[in-house]
Amino acid sequence: MADSELKDAVERAANNRAGKWPERAAQNRLEPECWPEMNPSFRLAKGSRVFTIGSCFARNVEMHLASLGFDVPTRRFLDESVRAGRHVGDEILNKYTPPSIFQELAWTKSIRDRDGIVTDDDIAPLLLELGNGKVVDLQHRLTNQFGQERSQALAQRRELYRLFEQAFDSETIIITLGLIECWLDRKTGQYVEFSPLLHKYNDGGRFAFKRLTFQDAYDYTRKALDLLGSRNILITTSPVPLARTFTSDDVIVANMYSKSVLRAVAGQIAEEFANVDYLPTYESVMLTKQTYVWANDLTHVEGAFVGRIVARMCEHYASENLLKVPALDRWLSFANLVEHRRFDEAKAVLSGLDLDEPGIAARFVLPLAEMRLHMGDVAQAVDLARRARAIASNAGERGCWDLLRCARIFEAAGDEKAAEEVRTAAIGALGNPGLIMSLLRRLPAAGRMDDTKKIIAHIETRLSGNLDLLSFAVLTLESNGDDTSAARTCHAAIRSHPNEAALLARMATLQQRLGHGKRALAFLERAYALDSTNTGYLRRLIEAHLAARDLGLAEQRARAYIALAPRDPYGYLQLASTCRRMGRKTEALENAQRAAELDPASERYKNYVRELTDIVAKR
């Protein structure tokens, strides 16, 4: 904002009806929920094309925009992918950082301006070669992390090009800025999404962590807007927090810093660009001090609350009256409270609902069924659940979550047969990896490990070719403390993918936790045989052999480690320890001295050298 005269500033403040912070004594815009004023500088035409790009919060926004009748290319892309059996998963569209948003648009525009044909050369800088004939697209998170054929990567990129080129034909763009913690690929100069693969393929320090400054984030956001031209832009900061930080800060502190930077960037951009408005979704979520705003994982915003934000946005921005916003808001509030089992509050909202609200009520039969069940009206709950089942079944596999909720209603009503039919049909239709991963996150958080395990059994029997899904299933079980089931699923994954060293190493970890030391060692040996340059496997083998007093193998592995990492003191220290136990004290001292030379700051190494020096001197 440019400097202004004192008189003008005072007059502006006096005319701003939302310019004073609310007080509790009066009805206010902070409690119980925060709803900031919006000041639209443009309008959204009914049915117009709205392109969403940014973090996972954009996926929530676009779903509700599509339900209100807007043409949302990203939602169409995901729905059509499911219907066509491509099963790409929602994660493939997530662009969490300002650089990743800019890169995707710049990549698309360069091809669009050239000839509109995506070639192998166009995708080469985006790919990581795994060395087994497969590649990973480093711009995607949680998709195909075990690799795909290059031809598949090219086909997928062509699909994505056809999607993102629609950003340049859309009337309105919504941008959700997510994170400032980034990963830079020094080889290509591209920012990439984090993956465990970065560590494995970090030869020569290829990947580097970078936390963006305000200027960095601002510059990339501005460059993205320059590519989009004069289209109407709504920009916001995603409230979805960092899952973890790669700084030394508490993740809560790191997240607040990240969001503060991005909120400042969004505000500065909105002030400088006449075609850009700031959308206060971040404020509505973060300043609403109600638990029902958040899903049980305390990371994702509840869909119903996002729906209320989008409805209010449309109330201000839509050029025509698209919906009865107050009525929809009440229904969404009711659904949100039921989802969190806050039935007393939901009952109070229910009393003000028109149960026959045209165009609205039919969308909310499932939470209404759950409410009726809670109130003891079992017959009506079952009748509503049957209607909800029909609606969810028509949604294909995207209806799985709702169908599982229907199954629980039938179960509670004593109809085990109907419950099992619904559950079996819902899980049997699953094929979208992104959707399945979402369910494997949501169900355990909701206390539904029984449904979680049924989905994992479906993965093992019907989707065993997808190593990403199998690996995620193992992680889900581990995260919920069920190492026995995790080992069983990991074994199923190994049967389908016997030459995946990472799976074998994971099984070794699980067997170790379960107290099966010999089995753990056997799996680790198999992993090392498949990936003999992996120093992580060698470390574990050295320590396992030392623990088992198999000094010959411990020495062999320590020497192999030194050959792979001659500048790492760890190998020399372990060789020193092995030689000492074998009675070769002088050789042990020589290796300990080498470890101390490589890490002169380590007091531990110095003390070990002094101890061995005394032992050798006494001899």
Query: pLDDT by residue (tens digit) across 431-449?
Result: 888 889 889 999 998 899 9
444 backbone φψ class: left, alpha, beta (φ>0; ψ -120 to 50): alpha
- DSSP per position, 533-576: T-HHHHHHHHHHHHHTT-HHHHHHHHHHHHHH-TT-HHHHHHHH
String of b and e for 524-541 (b: at least 16 CB within 10 Å)? bebbbebbeebeebbbbb
Mean pLDDT computed over 556-574: 94
pLDDT level of residue 348 (50, 70, 90 thresholds)? very high
Which range (60-64, 124-128, 401-405, 483-487) has the least confidence? 60-64
Query: pLDDT by residue (tens digit) across 62-115?
Result: 988 988 889 999 999 988 887 776 666 678 899 999 999 999 999 999 999 999
pLDDT level of residue 323 (50, 70, 90 thresholds)? low
Cα separations (Å) of 299 from 243, 294, 311, 474? 7, 7, 22, 21
357 φ, ψ (degrees, to nearest 5): -55, 115
Amino acid at residue number 379: A
CB proximity list for 564: less than 8 A, separation 6 or greater: 533, 535, 538
Share of the chain above pLDDT 90, in %: 74
Q: Which residue has the tokens 């009393």?
A: 351
Q: What is the pLDDT of residue 322?
A: 59
Q: What is the pLDDT of residue 92?
A: 85
- More confident of the two residues 555 and 26: 555
Question: How far is Cα 90 from Cα 142, in angstroms, rounded to an integer?
Answer: 10
User: Tokens representing 441?
Assistant: 């996150």
Residue 509 pLDDT exceeds 80: yes
- More confident of the two residues 435 and 390: 390
Residue 608, helix vs strand vs coil:
helix
Query: pLDDT by residue (tens digit) across 289-310?
Result: 999 999 888 888 998 999 999 9
Residue 21 pLDDT exceeds 90: no
CA atoms within 13 A on the CB side of 402: 25
Cα 527 to the chain's mean position, in Å?
Answer: 28
Q: What is the DSSP letter of 110?
A: H
**Average pLDDT in the chain:** 92
Question: How far is Cα 266 from Cα 207, in angstroms, rounded to an integer?
Answer: 28
Cα separations (Å) of 187 from 191, 269, 343? 10, 31, 55
CB proximity list for 121: less than 8 A, separation 6 or greater: none
Q: Which segment, 21-35, 142-156, 587-601, is predicted with the most confidence on average?
A: 587-601
Contact between residue 250 and residue 256 where contact means Cβ atoms under 8 Å apart: no
Beta bridge pairs of residue 184? 191, 208
Query: pLDDT by residue (tens digit) across 154-168?
Result: 999 999 999 999 999
- Report the candidate in 198, 155, 142, 124 with the shortest Cα–Cα distance to residue 434: 142
Beta bridge pairs of residue 209? 183
Rg of the chain over all Cα atoms, to the nearest angstrom: 28
Residue 234, helix vs strand vs coil:
strand
Q: What is the pLDDT of residue 268?
A: 97
Query: pLDDT by residue (tens digit) across 217-245?
Result: 999 999 999 999 999 999 999 999 998 99
Domains of the chain: residue spans and CATH: 540-619 (1.25.40.10)
Residue 143 pLDDT exceeds 70: no
Residue 410 pLDDT exceeds 90: yes
Mean pLDDT computed over 368-393: 96
Q: Give, for 161, the enclosing helix (H) or strand (E).
A: helix 150-164
Q: What is the pLDDT of residue 462?
A: 94
